[in-house]
Amino acid sequence: MKRVKITFPDVLPLGVFSFPLRIADINYGGHLGNDRVLSLAHEARAQMLAQYGFSEMDCGGHSLIMAEAEIAFRAEAFYGETLEITVFAGDASAKGFSLYYRMRRSGEESVIVAEVRTGMVAFDYRERKVVPLSEIFRKKMNL
């Protein structure tokens, strides 16, 4: 089986966010569910955007839409643990970019639970089409 390998950009993180794992995040195997990993990435993205004065619906004149996602699972995480999610940006083009999420157990720097990459695209929901990233967004996100 070919494994997903996510290569993180060599840039400063946009933020670090902490999330206690709830019972709803745990699957029948007793650990963090795979579907919840993408949901946690989504929450980290929303919080990161908010700290820069944006939301997914308003990023300086455009919205964002997720065009793709990759997840590499590395270790289990369990109910009651806290995950720290570090968010990075890279691979910018005229209309999109990638966000990278490194999920670690809080207090355990060496234990990576998952790595995620989402391909984000600037989108105009009124026109239902892809549009260029706004300059204000590019500048604040260092893209």
Give the chain as a DSSP string: -PPP-----SS--SEEEEEEPPGGGB-TTSSB-HHHHHHHHHHHHHHHHHHTT-BTTBSSS-EEEEEEEEEEE-S---TT-EEEEEEEEE---SSEEEEEEEEEETT-TT-EEEEEEEEEEEEETTTTEE-PPPHHHHHHTT-
- Residue 138: pLDDT band (50, 70, 90) is very high
Q: What is the pLDDT of residues 48-87, one digit of tens each?
A: 999 999 999 999 999 999 999 999 999 999 999 999 999 9
Q: Could you tell me the CATH number of the domain that includes residue 49?
A: 3.10.129.10
In a domain, 8, yes or no: no
Tell me what pLDDT residue 75 has.
96
Q: Is 22 a member of any domain?
A: yes
Q: Per the domain annotation, does 89 fall within a domain?
A: yes
In a domain, 47, yes or no: yes
Q: Average per-residue pLDDT in the chain?
A: 96
Residue 133 lies in a domain: yes
Within a domain: residue 10?
no
Domain span at 20: 15-140
What is the domain count for the chain?
1
The residue that leads in pLDDT, 1 or 124, is: 124
pLDDT in tens, 84-113: 999 999 999 999 999 999 999 998 778 999
